Structure 1
């Protein structure tokens, strides 16, 4: 006959197995967290050391580096490392693309959550997810073969310009803005809508004066996340922006960004050379700006919880 285990012993054994499993789960999660934190700290330290070499070892003046307008690191007589055109180019395409993507993304989110019937979201959501999955090189290639010739023929200039870069980037960050904005609008409690309708407000008045102000921190977070992706994008922008080393004076002028200059020149430099070090300094600027975007997102999140 099989030995009958008392219920109390079975319960104790079950609790012991559960506790062992919980401990193992905590250990695994703790190890994953340590790996992520260590990787972030290691990347920051490495990029900080490499980015500061041009100022500490090579004697590049930080003020001249940030405010200089001439980039000619190969001049044997007097190399010039003016990164201002690339810094302004990065900020220009980022903010201009956000100006396009923000109203379109937030408007699409409002349409899917507040206006369209249930089938509207079922159609638009897969379209947005499809845009997310398209590689950046495809966006760049479409911009190169379709957008650049169109701007050259109908707007003016060479086609390779800030305008091309901002349009390509706005399409790339549109799914990010729309997805997060949709989640923000969907998470609003229904009593906000019901209370507004009970007071006699129309649907548009409810959306404009109640729902959008209530979801504003989340909507701003969506825009900032889209901007952070746009600021670090390299390949798609590189294919349409022109990659010149001069200051742009209009949307139709060619320009360059921090990422495009790094990707174009890093493979042509010798590791440890002054030109290589200043490229690492441009990468350090990108890292600092990424941290700035993260801090801004954290600030907006804290406002949302108040």
Structure 2
């Protein structure tokens, strides 16, 4: 919203360039960043962290990975709202903030939900980052500072070691099915919400 409604043209272009540049960084580079620097920062900052490779580390790095998708798509959705809608709201006496939240955001809701769907599915399907920074421990975590083995990293880390056609082999394929179901359900729910909001707006 700042890029679309409040920032100057130069600031908006600079921020958009930075986010688009971030989107082009390979996942393995972000994973290496989390492995080298974020893990050390976690160990030095949080006394409860007994390892730097944990859920918190994976969450931070995945946030960096997904943010360009969210920001770029949402900024495009807000920018697609006609300028005369903003001018009409301001002419009726609404201030800038009220215009943004009461006029611009509701009209851009469809694009915002699309951005959420795309960004979240990107996070759900990410493999390399969580393989490198989540710790890879087969355990039920009790805090965000415990290591875990996410579904995607389990497939990537174990597929090369299993017996072809064995139980472990089929279990990994079943994990892939579970990921597909989760992603599909999330998309369906988001599309239902999107359809309901558009109906209400109409």
TM surpasses 0.5: yes
What is the aligned partner in structure 2 of residue 177 from structure 1?
Answer: 70
1:100-153 deviation digits (Å, cap 9, x = unpaired):
xxxxxxxxxx11211112112221121111111100000000000000011011
What is the aligned partner in structure 2 of residue 124 from structure 1?
Answer: 15
What is the aligned partner in structure 1 of residue 97 from structure 2?
Answer: 204
What is the aligned partner in structure 2 of residue 219 from structure 1?
Answer: 112
Q: Give unmatched runs, 5+ long, in structure 1.
A: 1-109
Q: Output the CA distance in 1 between the equivalents of 2:35 and 2:183.
A: 27
Q: Output the CA distance in 2 between the equivalents of 1:189 and 1:304.
A: 17
Q: Output the CA distance in 2 between the equivalents of 1:129 and 1:225.
A: 15
Q: Give unmatched runs, 5+ long, in structure 2.
A: none
Q: How many residues align?
A: 197
CA contact (8 A) 1:129 1:175 kept: yes
Relative to the length of structure 2, the TM-score reads: 0.91
1:172-206 deviation digits (Å, cap 9, x = unpaired):
00010011101110111223211210121111121
CA contact (8 A) 1:235 1:260 kept: yes
CA contact (8 A) 1:218 1:304 kept: no
Q: Does 2:175 correspond to 1:244?
A: no
Cα distance change on mapping 1:137 and 1:231 into 2, 3 Å: same
Q: Output the CA distance in 1 between the equivalents of 2:198 and 2:161.
A: 46
What is the aligned partner in structure 2 of residue 99 from structure 1?
Answer: none
Q: Output the CA distance in 2 between the equivalents of 1:275 and 1:141.
A: 29
Q: Residue 176 of structure 2 is aligned with which of 276, 283, 286?
A: 283
CA contact (8 A) 2:113 2:194 kept: no
Shift of 1:304: 4.1
Shift of 1:219: 1.5
Cα distance change on mapping 1:225 and 1:300 into 2, 3 Å: farther
Q: Output the CA distance in 2 between the equivalents of 1:296 and 1:145.
A: 37
Shift of 1:297: 4.7
Residue aligned with 2:108, SS: helix
1:197-228 deviation digits (Å, cap 9, x = unpaired):
01211111211222222222321221221111
What is the aligned partner in structure 2 of residue 258 from structure 1?
Answer: 151
Residue aligned with 2:144, SS: coil
1:32-58 deviation digits (Å, cap 9, x = unpaired):
xxxxxxxxxxxxxxxxxxxxxxxxxxx
Larger Rg: 1
CA contact (8 A) 2:58 2:130 kept: yes
What RMSD, in angstroms, separates the aligned Cα atoms of the two structures? 1.6
CA contact (8 A) 2:54 2:144 kept: yes
Shift of 1:291: 2.1
Shift of 1:295: 2.5
Q: Residue 228 of structure 1 is aligned with which of 106, 115, 121?
A: 121
Q: Output the CA distance in 2 between the equivalents of 1:114 and 1:168.
A: 28
Q: Output the CA distance in 2 between the equivalents of 1:197 and 1:171.
A: 35
